[in-house]
Amino acid sequence: MSQKRRVLVVDDEKLIRDLITNLLTKNNFEVICAEDGAEALELFEEVYPDIVVTDFKMPRMDGISFLAALWEKHPSFPVIFMSGHFNLSEELGVLAEGCTRFYPKPLDPEELLSAINELINNSTYNQ
């Protein structure tokens, strides 16, 4: 039996965390949740996920700040951004790195699953 892939889900909305957790656990993923980027950074070293799915706008530490801090220690770690505030600002230049994706809310469950599998399977990141 293969080991479950681990996903760290970061969103300040409990409903969103719960919806993604239900989707992923039904598809044989292990899910760990955080309410913001600061909590996610603390959890990251404990849980060593295969991928992170994070909201873009959050209190305390937003998705871009979280990604910057994460990539300081773990360059090019695969991350999927999601947001109800879809906006093509200069902040999204980070998506050109090739190991990130961005999806507007509401999320398409099949699209999210496909992106997670693609990024995990194609990741060159080694912990």
Tens digit of pLDDT for each residue in 63-102? 889 988 998 999 889 999 888 776 555 455 655 555 678 8
Q: Give residue 3's pLDDT.
A: 79
pTM value is 0.89
Tens digit of pLDDT for each residue in 41-71? 999 999 999 999 999 889 999 888 998 899 8
DSSP state of 50: S
Residue 21 lies in a domain: yes
Cβ contact 81:70 at 8 Å: no
Catalogue the E-assigned strands of the chain: 5-10, 29-34, 51-55, 79-83, 100-104
Residue 45 lies in a domain: yes
Residue 74 lies in a domain: yes
Tens digit of pLDDT for each residue in 8-34? 999 999 999 999 999 999 999 999 999
Q: Give residue 41's pLDDT.
A: 96
Residue 32 lies in a domain: yes
User: How many domains is the chain built from?
Assistant: 1
Residue 114 lies in a domain: yes
Q: Give residue 118's pLDDT.
A: 92
- Where does the pLDDT of residue 1 fall: very low under 50, low under 70, confident under 90, or very high at 90 and above? very low
Two structure tokens written together for 11: 């969103």
Which domain covers residue 49, as residue numbers?
A: 5-122
Residue 127 lies in a domain: no
67 against 124, higher pLDDT: 67
Report the distance separating Cα 77 and Cα 119, nearest Å: 10
Give the CATH number, domain containing residue 40: 3.40.50.2300
Sign of CA dihedral 104, 108, 109, 111: negative
Report the distance separating Cα 104 and Cα 38, nearest Å: 22
